Amino acid sequence: MKLENFIRGILRKKGLIPFSAFMSLALYHEKWGYYSKNPGTEDYYTNVDVHPIFSEILARFFAETLKKNFAGESVSIVELGPGPGKLAGNILSWIEQNETELFQRLKYVAVEKSAARKSAILEKAKKFQGRLTAQNNLPASVTGVIFSNEFFDALPFERVRMKGGKLKEIWVDENFSEVEQDAREPILKFFEWLGEYPQEGCEAEVPWSSKEWMTKIGRCLRKGIVLTIDYGYEARELFSELRPSGTALCHFRHSTNRDFYQNIGEQDITAHANFSVLIKEGEKWGLSSEKLVSQSRFVLDHGFEDAVRSLEQTQDIKMRLKLSSAIKTLVHPEGMGGTFKALLQKKA
Ligand SMILES: C[S@@+](CC[C@H](N)C(=O)[O-])C[C@H]1O[C@@H](n2cnc3c(N)ncnc32)[C@H](O)[C@@H]1O
């Protein structure tokens, strides 16, 4: 309620605000925003929560990449939006136990905006001899890996509708009602740049922040790879007539809704990642797209079977059941394996 009243106050003063401004406040207000609360209260369940096997596959993949391309050099793994740092802790532990030489020349930088999540990361950092740090922004220069799991879907976006061949933007008024306005010049330029448009009568999201983050990534990566894991599509598929309302959605207590103005600060607001934006902006900064594949394909190509075999040796029946359920969720095309994708970009 406090956040709702705070936003109402802003709306009264300003009259109207763009949807992205409302979303930034609802998710990232520093005291009451959804992501500012203590970790553990989330309504989302990511790959990281399914089973540690997901972290192990990433750890193996990063270790192989770093050893092959940067033998003997100081290198970094930078994770965007790590939340409380579960994946960071798992990946570093695996490297510490299995790749001691690499561990000694590795820095793991967690780029996290939420103060509550950052303190959870710093708590985990205590056991990694200064190898794990947390900060708000990307380092000035990175050699190695920049990656994220469900980061881009959590960034604020604008919403637009195509009406009579013209793009209309959705703004929010003081009654939390949506008001259509002619799209501003930068939005028109964005679609011109992308080269794809929503279909007549359909809604779509404008992921400005994703483009901005890709610019920052492209600028700071000297040499190495960028791995993005998220649910999403390329623009043409995203804007197909199968999605007339776009993909913007709220998650509240493990169910979904499209009432963005209820449970303000208590519910998550997300949209599918637009991989075309990441690919196109990446290219501008010398990042070539190596592959965009389903998460199933990615984990199967990167040691999933080896990791399962080593875990299967356990005699503990509960652990075996957990593993078999994780395999279904992470790999099955109808589970996260099918809806999630992995985009791998490279700067040589
Ligand atoms: C959906 S959560 C994913 C958390 C974690 N990666 C996982 O898979 O469980 C998105 C995370 O991105 C963080 N985030 C959002 N915008 C950010 C920004 N501009 N800078 C840094 N972190 C950000 C949020 O605070 C949140 O922890």
| Residue 50 pLDDT exceeds 90 | no
Q: What is the pLDDT of residues 201-250, one digit of tens each?
A: 999 999 999 999 999 999 999 999 999 999 999 999 999 999 999 999 99
Confidence of residue 52 (pLDDT cuts 50, 70, 90): confident
Nearest residue to 134 via CA among 152, 122, 120: 122
- pLDDT reported for residue 91: 97
Q: Is the CB of 35 under 6 A from ligand 1?
A: yes
| Residue 325 pLDDT exceeds 90 | no
Q: Cα separation of 327 and 158, whole Å?
A: 36
Residue 340 alpha carbon to ligand 1 centre in Å: 17
Best probe residue, ligand 1, of 41, 51, 112 (max atoms within 8 Å of C-beta): 112
Best probe residue, ligand 1, of 113, 117, 216, 269 (max atoms within 8 Å of C-beta): 113
- Beta strands in the chain, from DSSP E residues, in sequence order: 16-18, 75-80, 106-111, 132-135, 142-149, 158-163, 166-173, 178-182, 203-206, 221-233, 249-252, 255-257, 268-270, 273-274, 288-294, 340-347
- pLDDT reported for residue 87: 96
Percent of the chain with pLDDT over 90: 82
Q: Is the CB of 112 under 6 A from ligand 1?
A: yes
| Residue 43 pLDDT exceeds 70 | no
Q: Are strands 203-206 and 255-257 parallel, antiparallel or unpaired?
A: unpaired
Confidence of residue 51 (pLDDT cuts 50, 70, 90): confident
Residue minimizing CA distance to atom 24 of ligand 1: 81
Q: What are phi and psi for residue 328, nearest 5 degrees?
A: -60, -45
Name which residue leads in pLDDT, 302 or 48: 302
Average pLDDT score, the chain: 94
Residue 211 alpha carbon to ligand 1 centre in Å: 16
Q: Left if phi > 0, otherwise alpha if psi is -120 to 50, otherwise beta: which for 51?
A: beta
Q: Is the CB of 89 under 6 A from ligand 1?
A: no
- pLDDT reported for residue 327: 82
Confidence of residue 99 (pLDDT cuts 50, 70, 90): very high
Q: What are phi and psi for residue 145, nearest 5 degrees?
A: -125, 135
Which residue type, as a one-letter code, is found at position 227?
L
Q: Is the CB of 109 under 6 A from ligand 1?
A: no
Confidence of residue 44 (pLDDT cuts 50, 70, 90): low
| Residue 341 pLDDT exceeds 80 | yes
**Mean of the pLDDT values across residues 12-30?**
97
pTM reported for the whole predicted model:
0.95
Q: Is the CB of 154 under 6 A from ligand 1?
A: yes
